[in-house]
Structure 1
């Protein structure tokens, strides 16, 4: 019986395990989870989230594991859902719900996969509180170190499904949190000046973790506790741009007309030189076919893979972040009521999935161009956030608690023991508590497994 190790039991680990059930011959599967409970996933664990924190994925977008998320929700009691302020009678498949609730679905799905695997003759071992600290590979297979002790067992294959990598909680202090998931949920944050680096959903989640200690959302307003009047939160980024609210569109995605997978494969086959610009020209044709009025409005014909980014964000830069967010929210909610799809938004969303295939084939210069240009557009488009998160942000603004600052590209950040100072060309901002909600870029994460990193480095050294 072949032995498979799955390292991590969040969504990626669950879907990997689920796919293995299609294997005609039973396998020996060992799941390693560093948390106390397997099958939830770090972004959805109760100790990492509050009930205010919403998942930015709805049932219609989640591949079912035996049953859809919506069907699972309908099986839950009305009282249980009410704990998360979810009305069972109004459930639908495009609803954004608390992350903790989604974690419960993944946990139940994981247990169903385990049960079905054992029924099919699989040998399944679940190791909880078992952090894989190293992986070693050789011609005979894979060995693991768990909690810094090498296991005698050898596996034919190991699947790394560890997901998010965040700074250790040990790096956090009472005034500095290197991520929203480094002890923030357990910390007592006083009513003070709080700086949050990052204006994406992670930044908003960090703000929610703070404000929940000082008041409550009542309908579309935030009621501040007496004695917490000194609480002021500043969201910061280079541009000060807020994300869009999630927009209505058909799911599953409709096929593209111009830049199909077949066309992308042909362009890749022509070689890396000029690949990015050839793909962008085809993107222009796709967008002009879908929404000629929008293309004319932004002057798409005059843009290229480097300048589309500026045109994409121009409208938001021309308005204050909160007035723009309110207008965008109203538009998105109106479109959802009317089931109206904005063609250019939907086209860019679908283009992302085919255009990403060219990235490994770009030359070094064009890969950097893509990272600085089109990647920013695609990320902004597919990382749209739940409308409820925007409503809460606007409520905090109305209560005089939250503001947004654009730092520009040239600023310094000095984390002190008592305060954090951020200096730009024009201003210096001082914060009693500072939270870095930017996440880690891939190049800064490194490898969690020393032997694997050494092997990879050795392989790179042998490259011509």
Structure 2
């Protein structure tokens, strides 16, 4: 009898898992479940949560190909379709940031191609769209899936959970408050009023664009971008503790060149040191010194510690007007891209974040707390650099008198008073007619799991956070042992703080599918033995 598998969620993680599953030489039965309208798009790339103005924060060169590389797929599109997204076929390149909706179309198209390939290879594929899985129940060595219509009659040998990002539903929003940019903001009519946006990352920029585009238009003349509006009273405020804007994405060699000091072996030795986090910082310091001595001297890295480095890293930016810094940074990165110049210290930090992500879960608790309030902020700032076009748009809104950035400091008070949101910070009181919380995905716990039986089994096993092995098999829930591959990113962020992103989706999806294929092969050998 063929192994029967369920993939719950058909965003990038589910797609990369499916791509790897269908390489199995023996035919499989695979069911794909998607709660959205169409399988394969993924929440961040769907029309319900994004507009054409919102850019993906990853260039085609960084996207692991599904069937066809993203750039090749783009170049095969009709010019009329590209034009609808403001793109021209002769201007496409592999380091370009394209609209998020277009990336969703790519993943949808690639999934459908994979389905055709799978069926041609003898696999049985069932796609269930507009089907939200509400529970997973272990029974007699199989897993039963429940939807809103009750339990499915099909029983599954294995289930891949690839449910992706989790944000408040649109029903939790009101006319004046949005708990996330993905909670109905795209379809809402926002008046020309005082709009507060919590956060200064790309999610916050997207929220600002969603509001601004309702009241004006961006106009390009050569390299200059301006924003024109006739709306009186529109004022958008981006805010965070520091008021620091993200920097523009910078040029660097891809794939990554190897690090010189922070090797896997060196990191492993750090974990057995008396003070692991400080030993890791010694490696971090050595890598910066080796890569960029001038920057190391300028920042005084020789005298810095793991706890003081983040303050030194952000000090110059925090001391300057955020828009002045953004304009200078934009000019620098655009020059460097045109001349293929790499800033060594930026590139070193970018490569180190992936190495450190692999060992964070092994740090002692006090070291983990120091990391979360220290170097983690540096790495996030570095790898979450945004498309240059996003910075141009912020500057255009600022020049139009529409946008400001506010450093709240810590602590600050936030109150919802009737239809208004009131923030008190640094002795000032700010009142917003519209408020959008755009601080991005938060790590989730077992209590947040939407599958009651699985949730109760994990809690009974004492798991406040779902635990997985190297192949992302869920561990600790005895009834589900060997049955659940768990690649739901928000629940993995506790031990893998940098796990968000398409490359992580590809790695996780592939690892889950590889283990399932190997397990199916072992079972087949045992049957024939």
Please, what TM-score do these two structures have when normalized by structure 1? 0.96
Are 2:349 and 1:348 aligned? yes
Change (3 A) 1:303 1:446: farther
**Contact preservation (8 Å) 2:227, 2:396:** no
**Contact preservation (8 Å) 1:215, 1:222:** no
1:33-112 equivalent positions in 2, closer than 5 A: 33-112=34-113
> Aligned partners of 2:390 and 2:280: how far apart in 1?
34
Deviation, structure 1 residue 49: 1.1
> Aligned partners of 2:268 and 2:457: how far apart in 1?
31
Deviation, structure 1 residue 29: 0.9
> Aligned partners of 2:176 and 2:93: how far apart in 1?
41
| Structure 2 SS opposite 1:439 | coil
Question: Which stretch of the first structure deviates more once superposed, 389-398 or 25-34?
Answer: 25-34
What is the match of residue 228 of structure 2? Answer: 224
> Aligned partners of 2:315 and 2:297: how far apart in 1?
15
What is the match of residue 498 of structure 2? Answer: none
Change (3 A) 1:104 1:183: same
Change (3 A) 1:135 1:299: same
What is the match of residue 398 of structure 1? Answer: 399
**Contact preservation (8 Å) 1:175, 1:417:** no
What is the match of residue 457 of structure 2? Answer: 455
> Aligned partners of 1:6 and 1:399: how far apart in 2?
47
Are 2:259 and 1:256 aligned? yes
| Structure 2 SS opposite 1:309 | helix
**Contact preservation (8 Å) 1:117, 1:124:** yes
How many residue pairs match? The answer is 460
Deviation, structure 1 residue 151: 2.0
* Residue deviations 1:228-257 (CA, integer Å, cap 9, x gap): 121000001111010010000000000111
Change (3 A) 1:149 1:378: same
What is the match of residue 137 of structure 2? Answer: 136
Change (3 A) 1:146 1:197: same
> Aligned partners of 2:250 and 2:15: how far apart in 1?
28
**Contact preservation (8 Å) 2:330, 2:388:** yes
What is the match of residue 278 of structure 1? Answer: 279
What are the ranges of 5 or more consecutive residues in structure 1 without an aligned counterpart? Answer: none
What is the match of residue 247 of structure 1? Answer: 250
Please, what TM-score do these two structures have when normalized by structure 2? 0.85
Report the aligned-residue RMSD. 1.6
Change (3 A) 1:216 1:438: same
Change (3 A) 1:461 1:262: closer
| Structure 2 SS opposite 1:354 | helix
> Aligned partners of 2:426 and 2:317: how far apart in 1?
22
What is the match of residue 300 of structure 1? Answer: 301
Question: Which stretch of the first structure deviates more once superposed, 432-441 or 9-18?
Answer: 432-441
What is the match of residue 187 of structure 1? Answer: 188
What is the match of residue 437 of structure 1? Answer: 438
| Structure 2 SS opposite 1:286 | helix
> Aligned partners of 2:15 and 2:111: how far apart in 1?
6
> Aligned partners of 1:290 and 1:148: how far apart in 2?
58
* Residue deviations 1:85-124 (CA, integer Å, cap 9, x gap): 1011111000001001111111111111111111111111
